[in-house]
Chain A
Amino acid sequence: MPLLENGRLVEDRWTTVGSDDTLPTTGPVIVPLDRLEDGLARPAGEKLGVALPSDADVAVLRAALPRLALVAVTFPTFRDGRAFSQARALREHLDFAGEVRVTGRPLPDQYEFLLRCGASTVQLPDGADPAVWAQAHERFTTAYQPSVRDERAEGFGLRRFLGQAAN
């Protein structure tokens, strides 16, 4: 599936494995949370990611996080906003600096929210139009609350300038 970063399509170097799939011994793989131990048993240095279900507390990853290069959060439907809090908690509470990938069925209209909660990449759902996502990326230049991106203040009050956001 197409992968979006900073509003642009990028190559996806990761392999996502299911609960019953054979785990490749080398190469970057994303394992389900219930196979995290298997993933960690791979040779040190092999890139590992984990797919976090939306009902999981990110704190379960605390011990493994230094070994993880990617955490995938998911939207079972776009209405289920738990992934926003998970992404934010990963960045803010666990200081996770790796890739936070969004999977499932988000809407392009949620893109800015995702970025401001700490997401790095979005695995576009089937049928998504990358152009609409790219447009959503640039639509707003102002926000009214702090975020994990620590955008600079815009004038007075609570406002943040999104135009030249960090990274």
Chain B
Amino acid sequence: MDVRNNRRQAGGSSVVTANRLLDGRIVWLAEDGAWSGRIDAAQVFSNDGIEAVIDTATRRQQADGVVGVYGVQIGDDSTTPVPVTVRERIRAFGPTVHPEFATLTEGPPDVR
């Protein structure tokens, strides 16, 4: 997985993301250890402990049916996690050129 644009910093906090193996959709590691399709369900981790979380999630990825686990730095100043980079914001909220595919609004359900 390409991690050039994650720009995780030493401090602050991050969320953990991956793609689902079956359909490739973006998922976020949630409070209960499950993977959610919505970043607003993601558990926020302090960067102090995030490497361990990523390691654990990476070891579980075949069992969890996900691929390419990595951490995404988020801004400090909002209730919903908002990634600091354009790339991760597009992953989190959907392609900017198709507002109807926005992930956190009631868009069309997946075609199948």
Q: Are A and B in direct contact (Cβ within 8 Å)?
A: no
Q: Footprint of B on A, CB under 8 Å?
A: none
